[in-house]
Amino acid sequence: MVRPNPPTLTPEQRAAASQAGIEARRARSDIKSRIARSEISIFDAINDQRAAIQRMKVSDLLGAVPGIGSRRVFLLMEKIGIATTRRIAGLGEHQLMALRREFSVTKSDVSQGALIVMSGPGGVGKSTITAALRDHPSFWVSISATTRSPRETERDGFDYYFLSDEKFDEMVANGEFLEWAEFAGARYGTPKQPVENWRNLGKSVLLEIEIAGARQVRASEPNSTLVFISPPSWADLEARLQGRGTDSPERRAARLALARDEMAAAPEFDHILVNERVEEVVATLVSLALGQKAGSNESEH
């Protein structure tokens, strides 16, 4: 049997790790005592970005609420369908909605999350940015519906909801889309309800959509922030699109023409971010979301 090598840490690394552990425990116990004193709600903890809080067990969080014993925590989690080992970061939309109901947390108790709309030409690196924000505790990345067929690596319900034309028509007719548009021979739309739910739960929502859809969101949600992702240069974008390899020359020319049209819409957006380094773009999007959230709080008071 091959045993994995135990991690060998230098004394400095060991000291740093134990210091980080102490700080994480301190942060968790501070949050729990503030909940116990009713200074903050469980949603203030759920929306706390710190990794130490996100890693906290849901049972510990609920156990801190005044007047709720471990037996009730257990029964409540069983009723909502939350596994006993679940941590805050792993809570889903329906579980969070159920917790809100159980603890009578109203919409005004939670500051509404921002709505960030991101567009930009194909090949600019939007999917890398989206992937980074999917892992961010303050964000929820919207899952669009589309009538196009899934690509090999795509999963239904994660990358997209892959729908038939009939089902898409039905959702349009029922007013279930926040926006929808046609793009390259298929239809794409943002389901409205989850966006509303997540924002009401305090998470900022990211939509990665094309330009016609971004314009619709601007019209229906004037409070949203529209961000255009731009390549460092036209030559850079050309190189990235060439790099996609298997395309025929006609297809490549069509992609470039489409990208040129998309680039022309950049001035309509609130912010243009040049994608030099993904981490910088992600950090800017996080701070824009926090700014919008704070702004909407101020206007409530």
Q: Report the helix count and the strand count for the chain, using DSSP H and E.
A: 13, 9
Q: DSSP 3-state assignment of 91?
A: coil
Residue 73 CB neighbours (<10 A): 20
Which one, 35 or 171, has the nearer CB to ligand 5GP? 171
87 binds ligand 5GP (CB under 6 A): no
Instruction: Return the residue of 213, 226, 281, 288 that touches ligand 5GP, per CB under 6 A.
Output: 213
| Shortest reach from residue 130's CB to ligand 5GP, in Å | 9
161 binds ligand 5GP (CB under 6 A): no
Q: Which residues from 116-155 bind ligand 5GP, rule CB under 6 A?
A: 144, 148
228 binds ligand 5GP (CB under 6 A): no
Which one, 189 or 202, has the nearer CB to ligand 5GP? 189
Q: Which residues from 171-200 bind ligand 5GP, rule CB under 6 A?
A: 179-181, 183, 188-190
Q: Which residues are CB-contacts of 161 (< 8 A; sequence separation ≥ 6)?
A: 143, 144, 145, 146, 191
Q: How many residues are listed for the chain in this entry?
A: 301
Instruction: Return the residue of 206, 208, 215, 275 that touches ligand 5GP, per CB under 6 A.
Output: 208
Which one, 65 or 229, has the nearer CB to ligand 5GP? 229
Spell 46-56 as b/e; 16+ CB within 10 A means b: bbbeeebbbeb
The pair of three-digit structure tokens given for residue 278, joined into one six-digit string: 């993904």
| Shortest reach from residue 94's CB to ligand 5GP, in Å | 21
Q: What does the alpha-carbon distance between residue 178 and residue 173 come to, in Å, rounded to a whole number?
A: 12
74 binds ligand 5GP (CB under 6 A): no
| Shortest reach from residue 155's CB to ligand 5GP, in Å | 13
44 binds ligand 5GP (CB under 6 A): no
Q: What does the alpha-carbon distance between residue 190 and residue 181 come to, in Å, rounded to a whole number?
A: 9
Task: Give how far the C-alpha of residue 176 lies from the chain's centroid of Cα atoms, to the nearest Å.
Answer: 20
| Shortest reach from residue 268's CB to ligand 5GP, in Å | 14
Which one, 48 or 210, has the nearer CB to ligand 5GP? 210
| Shortest reach from residue 118's CB to ligand 5GP, in Å | 8
Residue number of the CB closest to ligand 5GP reads: 213
- 71 HSE (CA, 13 A, CB side): 0
| Shortest reach from residue 120's CB to ligand 5GP, in Å | 8
Instruction: Return the residue of 48, 61, 210, 259 that touches ligand 5GP, per CB under 6 A.
Output: 210
Q: What does the alpha-carbon distance between residue 277 and residue 279 come to, in Å, rounded to a whole number?
A: 6
| Shortest reach from residue 289's CB to ligand 5GP, in Å | 18
Q: How many of the chain's residues bind ligand 5GP (CB under 6 A)?
A: 13
Q: Which amino acid is at 277?
A: R
Query: Reduced to 3 DSSP states, what percent helix, strand and coil does the chain have, rounded to the nearest 5?
Result: 50, 15, 35
What separation in angstroms does the CA of 225 have from each of 99, 282, 290? 29, 14, 11
| Shortest reach from residue 100's CB to ligand 5GP, in Å | 26
241 binds ligand 5GP (CB under 6 A): no
DSSP state of 87: B
Q: What does the alpha-carbon distance between residue 265 and residue 211 come to, in Å, rounded to a whole number?
A: 7
Positions that interact with ligand 5GP (CB under 6 A): 144, 148, 179-181, 183, 188-190, 208-210, 213
